[in-house]
Amino acid sequence: MIGLFKKGCKNGKMTPIQIIVLDKLRATSQKLVEWLKKEISNYNQFLINLPEAINLLLYKYINQKITIDEFWEKWKDLLNIDDHFIRALRYRFDPIIENLPLLCYTQPDIEIVAYQDNYHFEVLEKLKEDLFFMTFRTRSTGKIKLNEWMDFLYNDYELSKSFKYRNIKNILETLNKNKNSFILYEGFAKDLKEILEKSGYKSKIRYMNNYYRSPLEILSYLISLKGIENISKKHIEACIKEYLNYIDYVLLSPSLDKAHEQWVSKFKK
């Protein structure tokens, strides 16, 4: 992996690694940026949950050799990613990417490394495509083909588990014990914290948002805890039905953040 802006570390007491948990909302990224503006001077290593292949593009963008639009376009071409997938990524990550030049100007000793497995993003794109067509068929016919959904959920879980350990391996290979680091992370942060501490790193989990999981995220979480074979088909079907309701909010709302907020609000009444 390419480390960027590597100019040595600060003297003084090392702080615990901050594991910053991201979700799919743009508001979470915006809150992260506000936190970074206040805290960036305390850190000199920033691990970002984007593919390793874009490290050079990050360097060029931060040094104003390419624009943010060129950054995303070159990334799309580099990894052969679909326009729809790039738009979804931009929705979440643009607030962070846009502010990287300013953050690096504020803390010129920062080392920025994208750590995620490149193939992970190809698989994510394929899974999202499969989910889209399966959702479309279910909404069109009004029938939930439970075995098809269960196959998808099991495959998603197995792939997520595999890439989780690949990405954590990349994190461990990149971390520098002489640096104050923070890591942007999606997934179950307690797993990362446990592995980091077994490897001799103190860490702290920080949430930027009071996030309520969407129906499929709830189901994925239950599968990771119990295994899909230990969750009743009735429970799985109920989660899928609620996911279809969730999609109605997404289709009728101006943004994913607004849709998620409206969906959550119905459970708070």
In this structure, are residues 226 and 157 in contact, taking their beta carbons and an 8 Å threshold?
no
Is 240 part of any domain?
Answer: yes
Compute how many other C-beta atoms are within 10 angstroms of the C-beta atom of residue 77: 9
DSSP type of residue 4: B
**Position 121 in a domain:** yes
Q: What is the CA radius of gyration of the chain?
A: 19
Tokens (6 digits) for 38: 């206040």
pLDDT at position 52 is 94
In a domain, 253, yes or no: yes
pLDDT of residue 3: 44
| Residues 84-114: tens digit of each pLDDT | 889 999 999 999 999 999 999 999 999 999 9
Asked whether residue 4 is domain-assigned, the answer is: no
- Alpha helices by DSSP H, 112-255: 118-141, 146-174, 189-198, 215-226, 233-252
Q: Which domain holds residue 210?
A: 17-260
Is 7 among the domain residues? no
Cβ(4)–Cβ(58) below 8 Å:
yes
Q: Does the pLDDT of residue 211 top 60, yes or no? A: yes
Distance separating alpha carbons of residues 138 and 246, to the nearest angstrom? 14
Nearby residues of 212 by Cβ (< 8 Å), 6 or more positions away: 260, 264, 267
Residue 11, in any domain of the structure:
no
Structural domains of the chain, count: 1
User: Which residues have a Cβ under 8 Å from the Cβ of 203 and sit 6 or more positions away?
Assistant: 16, 17, 18, 19, 192, 193, 196, 197
- Determine the pLDDT at residue 9: 41
The model's confidence at residue 82, banded by pLDDT at 50, 70 and 90, is confident
Instruction: Give the full edge-to-edge strand order of the sheet including 45-51.
Output: 111-116, 45-51, 181-185, 17-21, 203-207
Indicate yes or no: pTM above 0.95.
no
**Residue 86 near residue 76, CB atoms below 8 Å:** yes
The stretch 218-245 carries a mean pLDDT of 92
Q: Is position 3 within any domain? A: no
3-class SS at 137? helix
Higher confidence at residue 153 or residue 7?
A: 153
Cβ atoms of residues 23 and 186 within 8 Å: yes
Q: Identify whether the C-beta of residue 159 lies closer than 8 Å to the C-beta of residue 127.
A: yes
In a domain, residue 111? The reply is yes
**Structure-token pair, residue 32:** 């992260």
